[in-house]
Structure 1
């Protein structure tokens, strides 16, 4: 008997993660990788075009995150394929995935965990449970938004936006073969060092390769404000804003770190501090 081929798309904003997952998936002769996508918008377009059976979907991406990809597919009235989330979220979110999603891979996932996820996929695929999976995803969206499932479906049917928090609770910072998960609420400030970002958190400093603009887009502007061309501060850790005779302003953090506020960002900083 010929095996059913599971048509698959891989979505992750990290090139090495995409290529690594694709290489491991291609070891399974019943999995065909149709495409790789580096962001949510590409994912929506590729899923609409290829109609895959399965998508490995990263949650933390700039622009459209993983949840918003699902929302957009619903808005476009596209069938939702089986979803395996790729995530660095904390245990609370993972419990939600256990209830609502087909499966999840916690970065960095090993071959055994990937194999277990594919076995779940094969079971669903062979018994044609995709409709049940779609309903579970709607339930997940309902849990994240506070709306009930009927309200979610009504909004999607009427083209109304379904709002969730687009900002991650955790930053996954890769260092060689290791990935460190840093709680966003513990980040005090971020400054640039060439092509790298220095993320100063309560548990110490972490180095990540990302642009300041990308990080600014990922972090909740309610708490994180650009204070300088090469620095972002978490307002929750600011003790005071000090003006100097020269007209310059400096932020003093609770640990007495001093950050210069450039003229171009001064008004934004004052607004964030409700001054």
Structure 2
């Protein structure tokens, strides 16, 4: 039996190790040493030519789509790809209608078995069309043509769909917490990290304010300061202080400073 050379790519050590251990149960798969970074993944795919990769989408450096693009740009064929994501956003809806597959973190055992069995059963029928699906797949769900999509990736722009996620996934010490966007009250910056205040909890996320803005519906979430975003539904009132500065008071009593450049936009959203 020809076993499929299988590579797990994920920057989170526990997630990577946990998936690799469970994949060892499938005798049709030949596990390669795990890969901990997206840039390392490009070289490994080119040099070792795995048949199958489990590829995390959100990674520092290059995201999962950019890994595939980098391999293609160097003139090499892509392996069969199973995307792994903690973000149930644009990717999932696209993968459901293709021969490719995805796994949502934390990965369910039954879902993993279903995925592996599908890959194994379809491996013999994989042909040249598979190479084209990986990018056209993303183009379809984002509503962009392939040429535009590749240009955005090359320039470092983010790829987003015409929809917003219901959850934000937060990695911390090997665990992944899915925070409902509707529960977020406000977000503020703390150095290189974002503090997401949802319900009675505060979650720490290593992303930029700009990236978070792109994932949040602008009709509900508004930047009020260079280091703060607020859920408009949580705003109780906009206050004008004696020194001419403005601040928002949220329903829980929290006060947030409003920059002058955002004042008019905040007023418009509160009154609408």
Pair in the same fold by TM > 0.5: yes
User: How much has 1:129 moved relative to structure 2?
Assistant: 0.3
Gaps of 5+ in 2: none
> How far apart in 2 are the matches of 1:219 and 1:244?
29
> How far apart in 1 are the matches of 2:19 and 2:10?
10
| Aligned pairs for 1:46-65 within 5 A | 46-65=44-63
Between the two proteins, the alignment pairs up a number of residues equal to 255
The equivalent residue for 1:160 is: 151
> How far apart in 2 are the matches of 1:273 and 1:226?
7
What is the TM-score when the length of structure 2 is the normalising length? 0.70
User: How much has 1:248 moved relative to structure 2?
Assistant: 5.7
| Aligned pairs for 1:124-273 within 5 A | 124-125=122-123, 127-147=124-144, 151-152=145-146, 154=147, 160-161=151-152, 164-165=159-160, 169=165, 170-173=167-170, 179-184=176-181, 187-191=184-188, 199-201=196-198, 204-211=199-206, 214=207, 216=209, 218-220=211-213, 225=223, 227=225, 232-234=228-230, 236=232, 239=235, 242=239, 244-245=241-242, 249-253=246-250, 257-260=254-257, 266=259
Name the SS of the counterpart of 1:60 in structure 2.
coil
> How far apart in 2 are the matches of 1:61 and 1:168?
20
What is the TM-score when the length of structure 1 is the normalising length? 0.69
Evaluate the alpha carbon distance shift between residue 16 and residue 252 of structure 1 in structure 2; reply closer, same or farther with a 3 A threshold.
same
The equivalent residue for 2:36 is: 37
CA RMSD after TM alignment: 4.1
Evaluate the alpha carbon distance shift between residue 254 and residue 44 of structure 1 in structure 2; reply closer, same or farther with a 3 A threshold.
farther
Name the SS of the counterpart of 1:13 in structure 2.
coil
Evaluate the alpha carbon distance shift between residue 161 and residue 75 of structure 1 in structure 2; reply closer, same or farther with a 3 A threshold.
farther
Evaluate the alpha carbon distance shift between residue 256 and residue 82 of structure 1 in structure 2; reply closer, same or farther with a 3 A threshold.
same
Evaluate the alpha carbon distance shift between residue 235 and residue 82 of structure 1 in structure 2; reply closer, same or farther with a 3 A threshold.
same
User: How much has 1:56 moved relative to structure 2?
Assistant: 0.9
The equivalent residue for 2:117 is: 119
> How far apart in 2 are the matches of 1:168 and 1:45?
33
2:21 pairs with 1:23: yes
Evaluate the alpha carbon distance shift between residue 234 and residue 49 of structure 1 in structure 2; reply closer, same or farther with a 3 A threshold.
farther
User: How much has 1:20 moved relative to structure 2?
Assistant: 1.0
> How far apart in 2 are the matches of 1:33 and 1:198?
37
| Contact 1:195/1:209 (<8 A) preserved | no
* 1:76-113 Cα deviation digits (max 9, x unpaired): 44322111111234487534212125222122123332
Name the SS of the counterpart of 1:99 in structure 2.
coil
The equivalent residue for 1:98 is: 96
